[in-house]
Amino acid sequence: MQLLVVEDDPSISEPLCSGLVREGFDVVLARTGNEALDAEPVDLVLLDLGLPDLDGRVVCRQLRERSAVPIIVVTARGDEIDRVMLFELGADDYVVKPFGFRELVARIRAVLRRTQTAETRQPVPTETTWHGLRIDRRTRSVRVDDDPVALTPKEFDLLAELAGDPGAVMSREHLIDRVWDENFWGSTKTLDVHVASLRKKIGAGRIETIRGVGFSLAEPDDAP
């Protein structure tokens, strides 16, 4: 597995890269955001937000726009962390400095394991149409009654998961596992925030809450 470590501080990057190599990873170092964006494809990106040339959030968003590579964000303890914002930018997980090396390796392996598991799942159709809602997984685009709808990366992933089996009830745990991470330890309110946002964009009646269980992609109230 090849990792891209994006870190400009050599006092952090040098021991970190050496440790990851000892753990069996092939490591590529980028010291700036532009270097990270110009790097060859890798299996996972470890992205520090405090970069000398570009805002790390911009780098995260641009990496996500061009590929589905897993991204773990690294942020300083003093930073105000908006977990929902990080996940909306496309981050798969985050760690806070100073972090334990063993914890970091465990998170890297968990994210890689989840990604590999996702690749071996039973394939779903490239496009799903459900009562005027059209989801194209190839282009990551959504239309409601032929009108395009702009979604964040995680909103799209959540909707695509629900659309993988329209009408089926999916538990909160299942959705968090599939859309975020099997080891995600943040508040489950993150899921509620994304569901609420989706309802505003595609229509409140299209996602049904099953109290005490989870959610399902439902027929809209005006469905024939």
SS3 string, 19-53, reads: HHHHCCCEEEEECCHHHHHHCCCCCEEEEECECCC
Q: Nearest CA to 160 among 115, 120, 130?
A: 130
Q: How confident is the prediction along the chain (224 residues), in pLDDT tens digits per residue? A: 899 999 999 999 999 999 999 999 999 999 999 999 999 999 999 999 889 999 988 999 899 888 888 999 988 754 555 666 777 788 888 888 888 898 899 889 888 887 765 554 455 568 889 999 999 988 889 999 999 999 988 899 999 999 988 888 888 888 887 887 655 545 567 888 999 999 999 998 899 998 888 999 988 765 44
Domains and CATH numbers, the chain: 2-119 (3.40.50.2300), 127-217 (1.10.10.10)
- The three-class DSSP label of residue 55 is strand
